[in-house]
Structures are given as structure tokens and as C-alpha cells.
Structure 1
Amino acid sequence: MMCTRDLAWGLLAVSASLAFTSASAATGIQIGASGKTYASAAWQCGLHPVDGLAPFVQAGLYNPKRASGTVSLNGSAVATVSPRSPDATVWLSNGLDTVTVATGKVVDSYSFDVSVTYPGQPNICIPDTGANTYSGDLEYAASLKSYAVVTPGCAFNALTGRAQPFVNLFDNGRYLLNVSVNNIPLTQLNGTTRAHVPVFLSAGLNVISAANGSLSTDYYVRDGGTGTCALP
């Protein structure tokens, strides 16, 4: 599951900073100087199975034939790749990261900058909600066009077939709000026939957004814990 962002957090993606001039660009990827390995041209946000929304890249063998290799992050091996399984997902750490793909005596390096942009930011994929305000167990977006319950409840999710934590998101007027969770479209609220929606949470940090066209986008961050819960 992938997601992107722009500088205004309307989309969760940025272009990665590529420091190694030995890498040449291709569509969506960069190819190492050896011509045998590749990595994503830019990092993206995806749903980590434990940590929630986080930055990652793909890296591995380019047009593999016989060679196998090792993918590492900042010097620590994270995956083994082979012609039968040439691709690896690399979850990045905050700051400047170096991803290497070693095959035989060849090591290609790729650089990505996922430095945080505000104090206390868990990772680059989590937007700043510091302008939101609270009243009891409700969090109001700075735009005042929406609000969300703070403390997750527990309910059965028919789509996943298991009990999951959730929060309710409300339209705070008659705004047309496009609601997404972790950049996956969920529904549209209008404040009248559809004034609120339950948002089920995956494991780790979840980003809920409510976009009023190009006028504003409200963000809420919720921790889904393990992504499961016990029904009362």
C-alpha cells in the first residue's frame, strides 16, 4: 500500500535527494553504476505492518540472471535478493539514509533524505497537527470543518473480518469533505445525509485526512496499536 505527499501535505510524497552521481535515472527507479542493481528514484509512504505510515523504498537486482545479492540500510543487511525474488522493501530511518545493494564484488549505493520537518515528528510521513484544538475527547481541525474522536473504540470490521480499533470523524458543518485513511480514499461527507464516518485503524500510526477540495485539508493522527482489539 503506497502513498504520496506534496510540500503542503495534500499528497504524502517527496522526491528523494539522490547524492550518488553514479546512479542514472529511469522511470520510477535509479540504476546503479554496475547496471546490475536498482533502487526507487524517490521514497514513498507506505503502511508498515507494525509502525504504521512510514517512508520506504524498493531496491534489488536489475534484470537479474544468476546473481544474488544483499540489500542493506546504513550498513545493516535487511534482505537477500535473487533472480526468483529480486526486489526488497526497505523501511527508512529518520535522517539521511544509505541503501546499498551488493552482488558479488559490486556494491551500488543510493542516498535518501527522510529528515523530519517539525519537532517531535515520528517520521516524514506524519503531518503536523499542532494547530488542531481539543475539547474533551474531540479533536478539532484548525479549519474547524471537521473533528474526530480522540480515544479509539473497538468494532468488527466486515472488510477485514476482525475486530479493529476505530474513531469517528465528523463533518462540522455542511462541507464537502473527501475522507482518506493512510492516503486511501474512504468516503465523502457532506454534513447532511452523511455527517460522520467510522475510520478503522491499522497497526501503528494512521493518518486520517478530510479534504475540502483545494481549499483545505484536515489531518488527524491516531495510533492503532496492534491493529486488533477485543470486543466488549
Structure 2
Amino acid sequence: MSHIKAQFITLEGVDGSGKSTQAKLLKEALEAEGHSVLLTREPGGSPGAEEIRSLVLEGEPDRWSAETEILLFTAARRDHLERTILPALAAGTIVICDRFVDSTRVYQGLTRGDLRDVVDKLHALMIGREADLTLLFDMDPKLGLARAKARQTTEERFEDMGLEMQLAMRQGFLALAKGAPERFAVIDAGRDIEAIAADTLAAVRVAL
């Protein structure tokens, strides 16, 4: 599968935007077309990174500072990269990742302080890999937050930071997409699941 241009695909968006559902549907669609596909997530995707996931997604909103979160997310991402992403890419597998560095750029780098430069420097030093294609699932953050809270999981630390942060995150993601149009495809995530899935697969087919 070395001919595939978009072998590493990431999904981004505000909380509750339907990324996880669309990631699963995309994996199934690509496998049906004969591709080898790995679906993974961040934070997480490797045993060490999954342990860090519970640290950053659970607990009170003020549990960590944005600076500490950047270090934790980067540590999780490095382990994920070494143990899961790079071996799969080397084997010719398409990797679909539910969130990657763009989430850190927005959550910690833009909406919780002017730390974007710190995020980018750490990413260049410790990760050094961008996605080939990033699918941004864009929707009304108010609706997304309601969906996310309705899940009633223990991983709601960022949702508990409120609507104002979700609104800021949406603008942050859209700004990233505008700044890197060659990598991003923006999907209207405020529609029914089937319509979103069709547009998602169409965007990936163009990139492949």
C-alpha cells in the first residue's frame, strides 16, 4: 500500500462532534474497499498512553495547568507514535486516529493560554510527524457539549470547563484548517450520521 498518499488520517473537532462514530464508519468503509486499517485514539492508543489518558481526562477541571497538560499529552503521543502508529504505517496500514496534535494546539495552545508556540516546539522535538489528512468535524459547540455530557462518562474534565471553552475551541480548529488547507478537510457535522459518513469517505478517497 506504499502508493497511498494519505496513509495517516486524523479526526478533530469539539467535544461531542461525532468523531468516534465517524472514525469507526470510515474504518469499515475502507476495509470494505480492501485496505488494511488501524483505528486508534488520543490520548491513548498504547498501554502507556492509555494510563496517561485517565490522568488528563478525569478529575476536576483545574487538576492540571495547561503547561503540565502539554507535557502529559506529548508524553502519551510519543509512546503512541513509537508503539502503535509508526509500526502500522511501516507495514502499509492506513492509520485513523481519533485526535492528534491539533487537539493539543487548540485545547492547551490556544484556549487555555498563549501556548501554541510551546506545543509546536515540543511536537517538532518529540513527535515530528503531521497527519497526511485531517478531517475536522465542525458543528455548533452548544449541541456538541450537550451530546458529550449526555454520555455521562468519567472522562468529562474538558467538557466541565464549559461552553465558553468549547466555542473558543471551535474557532481554534477552524483557524488551523484555514492555515493548512492542503491537510484539512472540513466536514459539516451537524447533519445525520449517514450524510456525514458519505462526505467523510469522499474526502478520504480524494486524498488516497
TM over 0.5: no
**Structure 2 length-normalised TM:** 0.24
- Which structure exhibits the higher relative contact order, with contacts defined as CA atoms closer than 8 Å and separated by 6 or more residues? 2
Structure with the higher fraction of residues in strand conformation:
1
Question: TM-score, structure 1 length as denominator?
Answer: 0.23
